[in-house]
Amino acid sequence: MNAQSPRIAIPVPTSTDEAYNQRSLPQYMRAVEAAGGVPVPVPLQEASEAQARLIATCSAMLLPGSPADVDPARYGQPAAKECAAKDAPREAADELLFEHAFACGKPILGICYGLQSLNVWRHGTLIQDLPNGSQVNHEPGREVQKAHAVVVAGDSRLSHLLGQLPQEARDLQVNSSHHQAIDRLGDGLAVAATSPVDGVIEALEGTDPKRFVVAVQWHPERSYESSAVSRALFAAFLDAARSWASSSEPR
């Protein structure tokens, strides 16, 4: 495995909407490539054994967005009427990715649905539908680059990334596109950013400082070219993947 160009596993976003895949998957792949990695899509319809073999060849895992919602039964709740349909093949693929990544210490970057999937996998819960009437529009659509501000926790990886950028690039305005959010935090996760107006959790990080586990509710792959913060996030993820690959090479 080439530590300079680490392979990044990305599950295909959805098993139910090919148009969504064709629109969204290339954005994640371009961001990974621009940051120096090799994107490796994980087909959702492959047998789990084939998926596991493919995942094992990768140095890090990127969990993308999806039009689905995580099955509420997984966190012990009945589905609210506003809850979108579950996507069982995507959930099964995410399960494989998380199990492998946590067992091997491989870096994880979750985006939108990927953040929610991570939190549920770590035994957390979700708000199934954000209340109407909020002063913050969390789902303005994919064309909006700066939907609302977020406040980053001072002791987080995200804070460290922002601190390395020029002052003018540190004003974090994000392009949210979600109707669900974190409720109870999963095990071993900490809040890394929130929406300052309504308190919605906008980023999570793993509490183990030796492992890169970062998840954001917004879409940095959509703003990679226009946002220094988005580029810095992908660069840090790829740096972590290179470090893992280097540390795993035979001595």
Degrees, nearest 5: CA angle 8-157-185: 85
Give the residue from 125, 30, 10, 16 showing the smallest Cα distance to 67.
16
Evaluate the CA torsion angle 6, 248, 118, 145 in order and state its sign: negative
Q: Has 221 been annotated as catalytic?
A: yes
Count CB neighbours of 240 within 10 A: 22
SS3 24: helix
Q: Which long-range contacts (CB under 8 A, 24 or more apart) does 224-227 make?
A: 224/27, 224/30, 224/31, 224/34, 226/145, 227/145
Does residue 112 carry a catalytic annotation? yes
Query: What single-letter amino acid sits at 118?
Result: L
Tokens in use for 148? Answer: 């609302």
Q: Which among 138, 148, 178, 219 is annotated as catalytic?
A: 219
Strand partners for 7: 38
Closest CA to 63 of 100, 128, 117: 117
Q: Select which of 112, 138, 148, 202 is catalytic.
A: 112
Is 178 one of the catalytic residues?
Answer: no
Among candidate residues 91, 202, 205, 221, the one labeled active-site is 221
- What residues are labeled active site? 112, 219, 221
